[in-house]
């Protein structure tokens, strides 16, 4: 009887997971932010129009300009005639109207303002055309091989395409390396122009999905309804990309299904040695030992079923010959769950240890002889 009950529960669990991943969008992807692991994909390299999800790249380049010192949130931008002519989603900038970078970013993130997106691009690169060149160059650097941008907004343009895969890549770059963007992407309602202009977020998940952190909606007749949705729970942030859905409501339902599947199935564990790593002896080095440190890959994305009873084994070299370069591998931290090895994290030299010179060796021998006397 117990075996039958266990079997039924397993079948029900599988059925629940299958239903959670039954997205209607023709193209979709779920990614974990820290590791970049893809947890679900559906025709993720299909080249489709992204509509205003394009603006993830516009926002990314703006945040990079702020980080580099080219802009600050308080930098004042004067709106050009070109920026004010965009149409579509906008805050109705008037030519020569002045607004700070922070307020324009807010308008782009909350209401997908095309006029502000172009104004930011012009401020960064001098013109929208030059900014689009930077968008495409950055996409290439990130490995977004399905992407060609034609404008800074996502307004319909022949050949302006990307994919769910590429949107996830640029979304990850934004939320992982520029977490300050949350000050705008998590706004549900706000105002501009001293309260004269009201803003309500186009991303309904911000209000209605637990842990939602962003990121960007988009829709046109040709693109359908698109979304890059981010959410964080228990220290794990997920990115769900939906492309070409049939309705606005359906894109949010599809994103919720992906995010909820990810949160219910996976967890992020940060691994650290259970005891301090002992120094490793160095032969013929300028110092007697080298201090080991844990290498990259300490954040482990695991199925929750495997994360409850993790075991660690540390293997370190008995000694190493000089010279020792910083980052040289000294051993391995192996993490297991039951009989399965879930991670092998390199243990590296945390410092450089040069080899002793002939003169230093003679000096050592002299000191040893002197002390022994």
Rg (CA), the chain: 27
Contact 240, 43 (CB under 8 A): no
68 in active site? no
Instruction: Considering only the C-alpha atoms of the chain, give the largest distance between any 2 of them, rounded to a whole number of Å.
Output: 92
Listed in sequence order, the residues at least 6 apart from 167 whose beta carbon sits closer than 8 Å to its beta carbon are 29, 50, 53, 56, 228, 241, 243
Task: Indicate the burial class of 115 (C-beta count within 10 angstroms; 0-12, 13-18, 19 or more).
Answer: buried
Contacts 24+ apart (CB under 8 A), 276-282: 277/314, 277/316, 277/347, 278/316, 280/316, 280/317, 280/318, 280/319, 280/320, 280/330, 280/331, 280/349, 281/318, 281/319, 281/320, 282/319, 282/320, 282/321, 282/322, 282/324, 282/353
Q: Which of 27, 33, 52, 204 is catalytic?
A: 52
Q: Which of 112, 163, 260, 337 is catalytic?
A: 112
Angle at 96 (CA atoms; ends 91, 99), nearest 5 degrees: 55
Angle at 289 (CA atoms; ends 283, 292), nearest 5 degrees: 120
Strand partners, 232: 237
From the list 161, 188, 176, 65, the residue with the least C-alpha distance to 120 is 65
80 in active site? no
CA distances from 329 to 100, 275, 290, 346 (A): 49, 19, 11, 6
Q: Which of 33, 55, 204, 256 is catalytic?
A: 55
> What sign for the dihedral angle of Cα 152, 153, 157, 160?
positive
Contact 216, 203 (CB under 8 A): yes
From the list 50, 75, 79, 258, the residue with the least C-alpha distance to 166 is 50
112 in active site? yes
CA distances from 104 to 25, 215, 257, 305 (A): 31, 16, 32, 44
Catalytically active residues are: 52, 55, 112
């Amino acid at each position: 009887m117990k075996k039958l009950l266990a079997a039924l529960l397993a079948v029900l669990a599988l059925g629940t997971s299958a239903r959670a991943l039954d997205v209607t969008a023709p193209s979709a992807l779920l990614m974990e932010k820290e590791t970049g692991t893809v947890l679900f994909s559906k025709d993720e390299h299909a080249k489709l129009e992204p509509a205003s999800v394009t603006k993830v790249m516009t926002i990314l380049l703006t945040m990079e300009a702020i980080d580099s010192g080219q802009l600050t949130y308080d930098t004042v931008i004067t709106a050009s005639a070109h920026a004010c002519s965009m149409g579509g989603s906008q805050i109705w900038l008037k030519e020569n109207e002045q607004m700070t970078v922070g307020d324009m970013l807010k308008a782009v993130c909350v209401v997908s303002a095309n006029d502000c997106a172009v104004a930011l691009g012009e401020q960064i690169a001098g013109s929208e055309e030059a900014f689009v060149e930077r968008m495409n160059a950055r996409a290439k650097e990130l490995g977004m091989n399905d992407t060609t941008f034609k404008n800074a907004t996502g307004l319909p343009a022949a050949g302006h395409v990307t994919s769910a895969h590429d949107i996830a890549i640029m979304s990850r770059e934004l939320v992982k390396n520029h977490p300050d963007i949350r000050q705008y992407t998590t706004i549900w309602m706000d105002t501009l122009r001293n309260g004269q202009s009201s803003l309500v977020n186009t991303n309904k998940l911000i209000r209605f999905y637990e842990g939602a952190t962003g990121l960007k909606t988009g829709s046109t007749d040709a693109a359908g309804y698109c979304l890059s949705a981010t959410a964080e729970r228990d220290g794990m942030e997920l990115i769900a990309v939906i492309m070409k859905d049939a309705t606005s409501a359906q894109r949010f339902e599809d994103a919720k299904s992906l995010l909820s599947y990810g949160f219910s199935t996976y967890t992020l564990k940060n691994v650290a040695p259970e005891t301090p790593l002992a120094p490793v002896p160095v032969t013929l080095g300028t110092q007697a030992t080298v201090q080991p440190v844990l290498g990259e890959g300490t954040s482990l994305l695991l199925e929750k079923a495997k994360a409850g009873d993790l075991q660690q084994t540390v293997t370190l070299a008995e000694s190493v010959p000089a010279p020792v370069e910083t980052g040289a591998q000294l051993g391995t931290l192996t993490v297991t769950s039951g009989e399965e090895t879930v991670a092998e994290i390199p243990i590296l030299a945390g410092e450089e240890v040069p080899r002793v010179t002939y003169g230093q060796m003679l000096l050592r021998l002299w000191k040893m002889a002197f002390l022994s006397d």
